[in-house]
Structure 1
């Protein structure tokens, strides 16, 4: 596993243990944990598709 892949998996696993009820994004402002999860999914999906990873 490459360092980048390991870093990515580590960041994703941090979300699994995220305990706060909300998160303040620098651009979007306050987001619920559910909104944060949706944002992470959509953002990740966008970049994976951008680079041809399906």
Structure 2
């Protein structure tokens, strides 16, 4: 029997939480953001855990 992580932890993000690397603005979006809506700086998805 093979157990997959999706069976154990069925979490699937329906929204992305993005933070601007320049100004620190945080935005929630259902689609991937390419740039910050306030300053056009680069954003990172903070909903994805980093190790």
Q: Same fold (TM over 0.5)?
A: no
Structure with the bigger RCO (C-alpha within 8 Å, sep 6+) is 2
Name the larger-Rg structure.
2
Structure having the higher helix fraction is 1
Could you tell me the TM-score, scaled by structure 1's length? 0.21
Structure having the higher strand fraction is 2
Could you tell me the TM-score, scaled by structure 2's length? 0.22
